[in-house]
Chain A
Amino acid sequence: MSRMNATSARQAGLVALATAASSLFALIDWTPLSFVTMPGAVVVVLLLAAGTTAVGALLRRSEVVLGVGGVLLLLGLVRLVTYGHESGLVGGQSSTGALLTGLGLALSGIAVAARPSVNDHSSPTA
C-alpha cells in the first residue's frame, strides 16, 4: 500500500481529532448533550484509535489508518449485534456502536481513497 498524500493525511488527522474528542462524551452528564453512552473501556479504545491514527497520518501510512478504521467498524457492529450483553471493549449502548461504526467508516473511506486507483496507469508512452 502506498503512502498517503498530504491531503489524505490531513483528513485522517482531523478524524483522529474527532475520535479523541468523542471520548469527551464520557464527561457529559446532561441529557440534551449526552448524545453517546461512553463507558471507560470505550474511552480507552477511542483514545488509542485516535493516537494510532494520528501516528499513521504523520507517517502517511494508509494501512495504519485502514486498520484502525476496520477495528472501530468491527467493534461498532459487534456492539450492535451483541446489544444487551456487556463485554469489556464492546460496552456501551447502541449509540456507542453507531459512533464507532461511523468513525470506522470515515477512517476506512479516507484510507481507501488514498490508495492508487486501478485506472491510474502511467504509461511511458503517454
Chain B
Amino acid sequence: MAVESTSGYAGTEGAQPPASTDDEVPEPLPTGPVTRAALATVRVVVAMMWIQNVNWKIPSDFGRARDADLYHFVAGAVDHPVLAPYTWVVQHLVLTNFTLFGYLTLVTEFALGAFLLAGLFTRLFAAVGVLQSGAIALSVLNTPGEWHWSYYLMISAHVLLLAFAAGRVAGVDGLLRPRWRQSSGLPARLAMVAS
C-alpha cells in the first residue's frame, strides 16, 4: 500500500526513503486545472498563429513574380545569409523548385494549424513546428527589421507543446489514446508515439 510520510515521501509502507530525496526525486510538475488550462491555451494560440499566417502562402507562384510574400522571405536566406549550408540549400534546391516548395509550405502550415487546434497527433506536429520555425529562423534572422526573439519564442513554444504532449489536455489525443493503447496494431502504436 502506498503511504505518504510526514516528509512528503510516497513509498512502500515500512520502506525507508532514500537518504537524500532532494537529490534523487525531482519536484513533481503541477498538473492542476490552471496548468492544464494554460497548456491548452498555448496549444490553441500556437495553432491560431499558423492558421493566420497560412493566408499569405498564396498559390500558384507564392509571391515570386513580385518578390513578395513567401518568396521574399525565403530569398532572405540568400540575400541576408544566416548559415552558409542552409543558404546553399535554399539557393540551389528551394529557389530552383520554388513552386513545389511553396505548396509543401502551404500544406505543412495548414496541417500545423488544423492538427494543433484539434490536439490530434500533437507531439508529431509540435516536432514539425520546431523544424518549420527553425527553417523560418534560418531564412530571416539577418533580414533587416526582423526581431530574432520572435523565432526563438516560436521554437520554444513548440518544444513546450512537444515535451508536455499538449494534445492530452482538452485535445483529441486525450480522448483517443485510451483506445489506441488497447490496440496492438501498428497504426495505434504510431498514434501513441505521435500523440
Contacts and interface: CB of A to CB of B under 8 A. Distances in A.
Interface of A: 8, 11, 34-37, 76, 80, 83-84, 93-95, 97-99, 101-103, 105-106, 109-110, 112-113, 117, 119
Given A102-B117, A109-B120, A109-B176, 11 more contacts: A34-B52, A35-B48, A37-B55, A83-B59, A94-B55, A98-B50, A98-B51, A102-B115, A109-B175, A110-B172, A117-B182
B179 A98 contact: no
Q: Give the dominant DSSP class at A's interface.
A: helix
28 contacts: A34-B52, A36-B52, A83-B59, A94-B57, A94-B110, A95-B51, A98-B54, A98-B109, A99-B113, A101-B110, A101-B114, A102-B51, A102-B116, A102-B117, A103-B118, A105-B118, A106-B118, A106-B119, A106-B120, A109-B118, A109-B120, A109-B172, A109-B176, A110-B175, A113-B172, A113-B175, A113-B176, A113-B179
Contact of B114 (A83, A84, A105): A105
Interface residues of B, number: 29
A60 to B, nearest CB: 16
Contact of A117 (B113, B119, B179): B179
A8 B174 CA distance: 12
B39 interface: no
B187 to A, nearest CB: 13
A105 B59 contact: no
B194 to A, nearest CB: 13
Contacts of A76: 114
A102 B182 contact: no
B107 interface: yes
Contacts of B60: 84
A98 B120 contact: no
